[in-house]
Amino acid sequence: MKNTTSILIVDDDAEIRKLIKLYLKNEAYRIIEAENGLEAIDIMEKESVDCLIMDIMMPKLDGVETLMKIREERIVPVILLSAKGGDMDKITGLSLGADDYVTKPFNPLELLARVKAQIRRYRQFQNNRDKQMDIITIRNLEIHRDSRQVKVNGQEIVFTPREYEILV
């Protein structure tokens, strides 16, 4: 079975992209590559991406600026890669919206484990959010979208299909 999880690798170093791609492909992830932040933003407007692995120091648009632009519109796991390993660098990256921070040189197997953990956490978050969206609550009114039930003060009210659609 083919894995449909897409991972965008953003790094100006082709060798690093190649190394990361090798390990991720072994897990059957769909890999998309970009050399800089501008390319990454362009790709994200056209493609569905489940996780980003992104270098910080890149030409044209660096990883920090790219992260800030992505966070304006999307919630997707972002793992920053950087040769900058100082505490303040890590704190800055995480404070700006990164989900994880890995310093170079890195162990590819550790990076793979972090990718899996971020995707798992993101999917759990999405599932919980989807479940919450199944019930619309406005004061004493509950609309259960999955069962098409409507309750006012806990008492079920029966609607015709058309009335229900109008209410929703």
Across the strands, what pairs with 157? 150
Spell out the domains of the chain, with CATH numbers in brackets: 6-129 (3.40.50.2300), 134-167 (no CATH)
- pLDDT score recorded for residue 140: 86
DSSP 141: E
- Predicted pLDDT at 3: 59
pLDDT at res. 52: 95
What pLDDT is recorded for position 6? Answer: 92
| Phi-psi map region of 97: left, alpha, beta (phi>0 left; psi -120 to 50 alpha) | left
**DSSP structure string for 74-124:** ----EEEEES---HHHHHHHHHTT-SEEEESS--HHHHHHHHHHHHHHHHH
Each residue's pLDDT tens digit in the chain (168 positions)?
455 889 999 999 999 999 999 999 888 899 999 999 999 999 999 988 999 999 999 988 888 899 999 888 888 999 999 888 888 989 988 988 899 999 999 999 999 999 999 999 888 877 666 555 677 778 888 887 777 788 888 888 888 877 877 887
Contact 61, 34 (CB under 8 A): no
pTM listed for this prediction = 0.72
CA distance 92 to 70: 16
pLDDT at residue number 1: 46
User: Of 145, 123, 106, 118, which Cα lies nearest the Cα of 19?
Assistant: 106
| Residue 152, both tokens | 């006012």
